[in-house]
Amino acid sequence: MDEEKGFVAEELVLKLQKIGGFERFLYALPMRDGNTRYGCLLLFDWGEGAKVWSEASPLEGWSVDSLEEVQCWGIGKRIPPSLRFAIEAAWLIYRCWEGWDQPLEKISLCGLVEGHPRDWVRRVSQLQKEGCSVIKLKVRPEIMHASVEAVRRIRMLLGDKVELRLDANRSFTKEEAIRFAEEIKDFSISFIEEPCRNVEDFDEIYYRTGVRIGLDETLREITPHEIKDFAGVSALVLKPTLIGGAEACRKFAVAGADLGISSIVSGSYESGVGTWILAQIAARLPMSCPAGLDTYTRLRQDVLLQPLVFPNWTFDVTTPMPRVDVSRLDR
């Protein structure tokens, strides 16, 4: 896997070594839930005054690398996934995405609804009124029955006005996942993401219930060539910070598109710098669906002088990256 992902980033490190290198800046942003998002911005110098901001912010509890690893990284060491993403993205921006498909001018975004199902109907209705037509609901075993009832009520209220995606984050056992999928299969669910703890059980869940599968964590454990080994997959959830780069995500997207599988670029609670880059990637991948960038709205503050805006749950990809407020950063 590392060999498949590694070629581009290692070549770029050699270029950086010969030119200007990069500076690292740390941030600590308050989130709406009371937590703090810690991350790292990088200012790359490609020579002749060409400087590009990028981001390497591992997500604690989900990334295999850490912020400390990004801070301490030096040339000659293995490049951690989040830093690989930052290096490749900075180069692609500098080279105007050379070799990639022409982008869409606008992309649609997927809303994210968490918390207890008793609040889902109200929140989904609110998002739909704001122009959001695709919504992801976070499900888990302890709220299984309440989740089924909430999905039923959403469908009764809104019909097919919204596309619903479910994300279990591998929290169910196989038996729980099958029981849950049986109960929601008639509610036009696009897919259930990572339905249970054992990846080997995904096929059985699909065959027994007909509910399609979305792959997220699994993509950090397989190669693009192995997607074909899974049954009933309808979506690949691509998180460049976790997977390890834009090029790795593109390989998965191309392999998925060849099988008729859509790709969803998704955030890992990056700042506005990383989120802007994710939108650029989403606009350029084959069979790209509404992107999962609602994590950005969980930040109470940002590193940008002007925060990103998503009117009617869309993003204008032609919008330049807003200026970074360096006063909010630490070296």
Eight-class DSSP state of 320: P
Q: Are 176 and 196 in contact (CB under 8 A)?
A: yes
Instruction: Please give the model's pTM, rounded to 2 decimal places.
Output: 0.94
Write down the pLDDT at residue 19. 58
Strand segments (E) across 182-321: 189-193, 213-215, 233-238, 262-265, 314-316
Average pLDDT over residues 140-154: 97
pLDDT at 21 over 90: no
Q: Which fold has domain 106-318?
A: TIM Barrel (3.20.20)
125, two tokens: 């209705």
At position 224, the amino acid (one-letter code) is P
Residue 49, pLDDT score: 81
Would you state the torsion angle of the CA atoms of residues 268, 272, 277, 280, taken in this order, to the nearest 10 degrees?
A: 110
Amino acid identity for residue 118 in this structure: R
Q: Is the pLDDT of residue 6 over 80?
A: no
CA dist list (Å): 151 to 202, 242, 328: 22, 29, 41
What digits encode the pLDDT tens for the residues 228-256?
999 999 999 999 999 999 999 999 999 99
- Which residue ranges make up each domain of the chain? 2-94, 106-318
pLDDT, one tens digit per residue, over 206-223 is: 999 999 999 999 999 999
Q: How confident is the model at residue 62 (pLDDT cuts 50, 70, 90)?
A: very high
Confidence of residue 7 (pLDDT cuts 50, 70, 90): very low
Architecture of domain 2-94: 2-Layer Sandwich (3.30)
Please tell me the predicted confidence (pLDDT) of residue 15: 66
- Of the pLDDT bands very low, low, confident and very high (cuts 50, 70, 90), residue 52 is very high
Higher-confidence residue of 95 and 74: namely: 95
Which tens digit of pLDDT belongs to each residue from 77-133?
A: 889 999 999 999 999 999 999 999 999 999 999 999 999 999 999 999 999 999 999
Strands, DSSP E only, in the chain?
A: 22-30, 36-45, 51-55, 106-108, 111-113, 134-138, 163-167, 189-193, 213-215, 233-238, 262-265, 314-316
Give percent of the chain above pLDDT 90: 89
| DSSP letter string, 245-284 | -HHHHHHHHHHHHHTT-EEEEB-SS--HHHHHHHHHHHTT
Between residues 13 and 158, the one the model is more confident about = 158
Confidence of residue 14 (pLDDT cuts 50, 70, 90): low
